[in-house]
Amino acid sequence: MRMSTKAQYAVRALVSLNLTSCGDPVSIKDISAREHISLNYLEQLFVKLRRGEIVRSVRGPGGGYVLARSAADIRVDEIIDTVEETLVPVSCMDADGSCKCNSECATQSVWQGLGNQIRSFLASMTLEDLTNEGRQRLERSESNQC
């Protein structure tokens, strides 16, 4: 299974936001430059993230985006659900994990089980977990420089 670009970019952008914000608003332009993601694409994602109450916008000079709640309270599956239509491993499954095929499908339990495992894994991680991992990677890469 391959995660969509929307999901990947949304998670990356939110980790970047959380790493750099220190509680202050961060502009999408800064995130775009740091993560090498198209500004227009990020704007579309942040509209969805705002509607999903994951981020909130701050207007005016020095404005941008901040997290709408603690990074420890934002799960990765929630981020993906906010920007994606569905999170299922195969095209014959509905968003709720049920099979669109007939009840005689011999592989239905495999795909439902895989979908449950993926959802459980993503639900077990928070934005704070990913931010901490990102912070550790940055520290290691900075300590390896001359």
Residues 6+ apart with CB under 8 A from 81: 52, 87
pLDDT at 102: 66
Whether 59 is in a domain gets the answer yes
Whether 145 is in a domain gets the answer no
Whether 81 is in a domain gets the answer yes
- Compute the average pLDDT of residues 109-114: 85
- Compute the average pLDDT of residues 75-98: 82
DSSP 132: H
> Letter for the amino acid at 24?
D
Whether 134 is in a domain gets the answer no
pLDDT at 2: 67
pLDDT at 1: 59
Whether 136 is in a domain gets the answer no
- pLDDT of 99 > 90? The answer is no
Say what the pTM is. 0.86
**Alpha-carbon distances, residue 144 vs 20, 133, 134, 139, 141 (angstroms):** 21, 17, 16, 9, 5
* pLDDT tens string 15-65: 999 999 988 999 999 999 999 999 999 999 999 999 999 999 999 888 999
Residue entry with tokens 């520290």: 139
Whether 132 is in a domain gets the answer no
Whether 10 is in a domain gets the answer yes
pLDDT at 79: 96
pLDDT at 23: 85
- pLDDT of 98 > 90? The answer is no
* More confident of the two residues 41 and 89: 41
* More confident of the two residues 91 and 2: 91
Q: How many domains does the chain have?
A: 1
Give residue 115's domain range. Answer: 5-127
Secondary structure of 26-61 as H, E, C letters: ECHHHHHHHHCCCHHHHHHHHHHHHHCCCEEEECCC
Whether 142 is in a domain gets the answer no
CATH number at residue 104: 1.10.10.10
On whether the CB atoms of residues 49 and 14 are closer than 8 A, the answer is yes
- Compute the average pLDDT of residues 105-120: 86
pLDDT at 27: 96
